[in-house]
A and B are shown apart, each in its own frame.
Chain A
Amino acid sequence: MAFEGIGASVKRREDLRFLSGRGNYTDDINRPGQLHAVLVRSPHPHARITGIDTAAAKAAPGVAAVFVGADLAAENIGGLPCGWQIHNKDGSPMAEPPHPVLAIGKVRHVGDPVAVVIAETKAQAKDAAELVSVSYDVLKGAPSLEAALRPGAPLVHDEVGGNLCYDWHIGDKDATDAAFAGAHKVARLELVNNRLIPNAMEPRAAVGEFDTMSGDYTLYTTSQNPHVIRLLMGAFVLHIPEHKLRVVAPDVGGGFGSKIYHYAEEAIVTWASAKVKRPVKWTADRTESFMSDAHGRDHVTVAEMAMDANGKFLGLRVHTHANMGAYLSTFAPCVPTYLYATLLAGTYTTPAIYAEVKAVFTHSVPVDAYRGAGRPEASFLIERLVDQCAIAMGMDRVEIRRRNFIPSSAFPYQTPVALQYDSGDYVATLEACLKASDWAGFEARRAAAKARGKLRGIGISTYLEACGIAPSAVVGSLGARAGLYEVANIRVNPTGSITVFTGTHSHGQGHETTFAQLMAAKFGVPMDQVDIVHGDTARIPFGMGTYGSRSLAVGGSAMDRAADKIIAKGKKIAAHLLEADAADIEFKDGKFQVAGTDRSKALAEISLTAYVPHNYPIEELEPGLEETAFYDPKNFTYPGGCHICEVEIDPDTGVVSVVNFTAVDDVGRVINPMIVEGQVQGGVAQGIGQALLETCVYDADGQLLSGSMMDYTMPRADNLPNISVGTSVTLCTHNPLGVKGCGEVGAIGSPPAVIGAVVDALKDHGITHIDMPATPQKVWGIINANRPRMAAE
């Protein structure tokens, strides 16, 4: 048998079904008697609904029901809740306007759902949906931050003046102002963090089913966190007690954050299934995905760094406006605050930091966490600003980073913006990446490119992020309306095989492999003796799901704790069988052994004894071998590292080609290097997508111009270089596995390296920054407007 322990690149066991088309996704689920739902959505960014006539639709062939917002309101159905409350500078709570499941009175973005048509077939539902006649009084829309903040801008919610959701801050303003007052130089940067549309390969889908006998509801849905959906939808929207509501998230084809949130369609199919007394299915088409999946990012920021004469950072000042979209999505308010501004120290010793964030409602799709969630915004800002600092000081980009790194001797390191980093070695990841990328040899490659008529540039990012979300008490004090522990239940079956029930959820991450590898190593059994179960609230204990690179750090730690409980109990059983003291029993390589002897019992013998307790310490010990652990992390984890990117620009067309990409990340202990590499590769692909290709475009009124794959530039294989991935490890000090998380580092670390490379390539064209995405049109515009100065000029 090949080595499959910790550190082995075991092939992903789930891939056999995924790659052979035998996954079981939500849209693959068809329940007996199932009906099909189609949503009628607003074509307008902003309009008053003056009437909805559903008579013709209700009379159409095959139609079982048509519902509008008033039908839900009549049954006291709640709005979609927000899971995080931010407080303003003055201590007052953020504006939290209602988010009706189906629009009531007004529509606030293109795609806002207005009515649902339920019919025997999807085609009939589509036909009838065209017969729903909605009368609109069309109003002016304000889809962008700029438009929504303009004096006299149309209000997204009449009760929210100035469209301001909150005005929040963090850090020490006075200390920061003092740092600037004494600065030798100040570097300043204005930037836009572009709006992204997630586009998981699998569109969202939901099937609701109501058992008229038991009164039980089941929702099959494309979710990253089925228990969170059960809690939010049951308690706040549909008022279904938890024991009557089962949520199943089967195979899910990518999430990237967009499948964390509780969406209207989940509530609609669940509620409607009881109304029509038949299962109801909804599957988004790609166009709906563009206009109804929560979008990501969309910041406008001004940042300044104060430096002393040696280029040491003295103070950082940041002003950010964040677009929330038309309604507050589940975790939207925490993204530009506690997942963003708390990261502004980055890997540097900046002693004073002050950040202000204003969140703004606009006539656009709600914006929420998207791979990295707040941390890509922070790393992009910091790393781009550090490059500006180097320019302002006339220093090398690498040297200014070295001068300001938090030294590895300084951990644990308390930043001025709340977080305490536990471990890291930024010089180690920097050196490894400089070497792997041949940074020193770059100028020769630049000259060779120039001889071929290409502009070559190199960029670097020495980023940090916080993940492994999160200590419950800490996030609770910051406004989270949920705990963020994780749970594992381990059942050692009578003949020794092991079933692990986890509250995390895999939607591409390879949990079925990594967790099995982890548990097989812990119990000293082959991997094929371990199964991982997730995604069904009827099977797993109450867990919080997968996002924020938390599954291994938090969920894996819960598994480790539960396994410790199993082993502790096993020792007692073994002590009984071996007539020894439990304190003398060692567990190693799948055997309970009396220390210093060859007397031992295998795990399977212990489990059989536990379930067939004929010779068993029944007075002191319960039968069975099954344990549960809830693990609440003590801190965030802090992966970081160095990404170096090289690009070549065709000056005739403005096309940017990424020709080299090197990542060296510290993700803590690595369980499966192949899976880590895959996660980093995917993250970097998304980072390159954001930096060069992707952007959501609304016109001035709020019509979505990038509403299809014809217009929204998803990264493709030929946009991507061979991405070199390495790791340089320091262990997390506060979780039992020493792991940090790898799901988001690629998307967090890469965009500033890519843009840094583009700017470096264009350094003779009069620019020091370019906003993402650096499209051919934009780059050509710069080249065309700023022809390089000739030596004679």
Chain B
Amino acid sequence: MYEFTYHRPGSVADAVKLLADPDARAMSGGMTLIPTLKQRLARPTAVVDLSGIGELKGITVSGGTVKIGGMTTHATVASSADVAKAIPALAKLAAHIGDAQVRNRGTMGGSVANHDPAADYPGAVLALGATVHTNTRAIAADDFFNGMFSTALEPGEIVTAISFPVPEKAAYVKFPNPASRYAMVGVFVAKGPAGVRVAVTGAGANGVFRHAAMEAALAKNWSAAALDGVTTPVDDLNGDIHASKEYRAHLIGVMAKRAVAAAG
């Protein structure tokens, strides 16, 4: 990696000050940034490590909402009895991100802010109609993701927490890429305060997206069979050596049915 200055601020305010440098990069778990630095694909002047900010960690459940701090690790979410009780699909999703090392380092805020098209959490955020809280505002999930590796976050804006309305039913099923084990197709289905929502991750050329046709079908009839004949246009899907656009489109249907079945 190239040389950079390392900071570990103790508060969001201090972190924001350090991120005023446009070439500084915030680091949460570092599960994407560190490999990128090691491969010399990024050259920040400074890395602002958010791991010293206590106020960004933790899980609270109250009034039908699960609120998770941005610096909460996947392992913490996966093992949280509160999350498992309120939104079991979210705990299960967290338990299957990457491997044990990644789950112990990677964070929800980092994953969501990065918006890797093959990441799992964006599916949950979008399908559950979550709200992304930052140091300056609250952003609805529908307004947050706007393209591959792209979000509504402004430079220097930090994801402080994400709040999820507790759904009536929800499940996430993914088809991992055989090599990387990232989601090649992941479908999160939910029925709850935000209505019936289906979010697809891993497959879209523009990152996570909602599947309107599936939502309409499931709103009428919440069952796997309701998705029979519901197809996914291939135009905006990714194709690569492991899965063509057509195969991904097919897998979206299979994963969605399995998710609905799992949600009950």
Contact = CB atoms under 8 A, between A and B. Distances in A.
Interface of A: 126-127, 130, 287, 652-653, 693, 697, 705-706, 709-714, 775-777, 780-781, 784
B179 A711 contact: yes
Question: Which residue, A697, A709, A710, A777, has most C-beta atoms of chain B within 10 A?
Answer: A777
B178 A653 contact: no
Contact of A126 (B40, B242, B251): B40
B247 A780 contact: yes
A711 B182 CA distance: 11
A409 B175 CA distance: 52
B244 interface: yes
Nearest to A778: B247
B217 interface: no
B188 to A, nearest CB: 18
B254 interface: yes
The 8 closest A-B pairs by CB, nearest first: A713-B179, A710-B180, A713-B178, A652-B254, A777-B247, A697-B241, A711-B179, A777-B243
B241 A705 contact: yes
Interface residues on B, range: 10 to 19
Nearest to A780: B247
Contacts of A776: 175, 178, 247
A775 B184 CA distance: 14
Contact of B180 (A287, A653, A711): A711
Contacts of A712: 179
Nearest to A710: B180
12 contacts: A697-B241, A705-B241, A706-B241, A709-B180, A710-B182, A711-B241, A714-B179, A776-B175, A776-B178, A777-B243, A777-B247, A780-B250
Question: Which residue, A126, A697, A710, has most C-beta atoms of chain B within 10 A?
Answer: A710
Interface in B198-256: 241-244, 247, 250-251, 254
Question: Which residue, B179, B243, B250, has most C-beta atoms of chain A within 10 A?
Answer: B179
Given A126-B40, A709-B180, A784-B250, A653 B241 contact: no
Contacts of A653: 175, 251, 254
A784 B175 CA distance: 18
Nearest to B175: A653
Contacts of B182: 710
B116 to A, nearest CB: 12
B1 to A, nearest CB: 8
B196 to A, nearest CB: 23
Given A653-B254, A697-B241, A705-B241, A781 B178 contact: no
Contacts of B250: 780, 784
Interface string B93-136: 00000000000000000000000000000000000000000000
Nearest to A653: B254
B179 A710 contact: yes
A711 B241 CA distance: 8
Interface string B151-194: 00000000000000000000000010111101000000000000
A565 B226 CA distance: 81
Contacts of B254: 652-653
A709 B179 contact: yes
A191 to B, nearest CB: 20
Given A126-B40, A711-B241, 10 more contacts: A287-B39, A693-B178, A705-B241, A709-B180, A710-B180, A713-B178, A713-B242, A775-B178, A777-B242, A777-B243
Nearest to A719: B178
Contacts of A130: 40
B41 to A, nearest CB: 12
B174 to A, nearest CB: 11
Contacts of A693: 178
Contacts of B251: 653
Contacts of B180: 709-711
A287 B247 CA distance: 28
A463 B257 CA distance: 43
A303 to B, nearest CB: 27
Question: Which residue, B39, B177, B182, B242, has most C-beta atoms of chain A within 10 A?
Answer: B242
Nearest to A716: B181
A623 B251 CA distance: 77
Nearest to A650: B254
A781 B243 CA distance: 10
Contacts of A709: 179-180
A781 B247 contact: yes
Contacts of B39: 287
B77 to A, nearest CB: 22
Nearest to B247: A777
Contacts of B2: 127
A283 to B, nearest CB: 14
A693 B254 CA distance: 22
Nearest to A773: B178
Nearest to B2: A127
Contacts of B177: 710
Given A652-B254, A653-B251, A777 B179 contact: no
A403 to B, nearest CB: 39
Contacts of A706: 179, 241
Nearest to B242: A777
A685 B178 CA distance: 16
Contacts of A705: 241
A130 B41 CA distance: 12
B51 to A, nearest CB: 24
A697 B244 CA distance: 15
A709 to B, nearest CB: 7
Contacts of B178: 693, 713, 775-776
Given A126-B40, A653-B254, A775 B242 contact: yes
A42 to B, nearest CB: 18
Nearest to A699: B241
A705 B175 CA distance: 21
A709 B178 CA distance: 10
B244 A777 contact: yes
A519 B190 CA distance: 67
Nearest to A287: B39
Contacts of B243: 777
Contacts of A711: 179-180, 241-242
Contacts of A775: 178, 242
A601 to B, nearest CB: 59
B76 to A, nearest CB: 24
A410 B39 CA distance: 59
Contacts of A287: 39
Question: Which residue, B39, B175, B247, has most C-beta atoms of chain A within 10 A?
Answer: B247
A378 to B, nearest CB: 27
Contacts of A710: 177, 179-180, 182
Question: Which residue, B178, B179, B242, B251, has most C-beta atoms of chain A within 10 A?
Answer: B178
Contacts of B179: 706, 709-714
A499 B179 CA distance: 45
A229 B137 CA distance: 64
A693 B180 CA distance: 12
A52 to B, nearest CB: 21
Question: Which residue, B40, B175, B241, has most C-beta atoms of chain A within 10 A?
Answer: B241
Nearest to B118: A710
A639 B100 CA distance: 41
A781 B175 CA distance: 16
A758 to B, nearest CB: 15
A693 B179 CA distance: 8
Nearest to A705: B241
A697 B240 CA distance: 11
Contacts of B244: 777
Interface in B10-35: none
Nearest to B39: A287
A712 B180 CA distance: 8
Contacts of A127: 2
A270 to B, nearest CB: 28
B127 to A, nearest CB: 21
Contacts of A713: 178-179, 242
A71 B254 CA distance: 59
Nearest to B1: A123
A710 B178 CA distance: 9
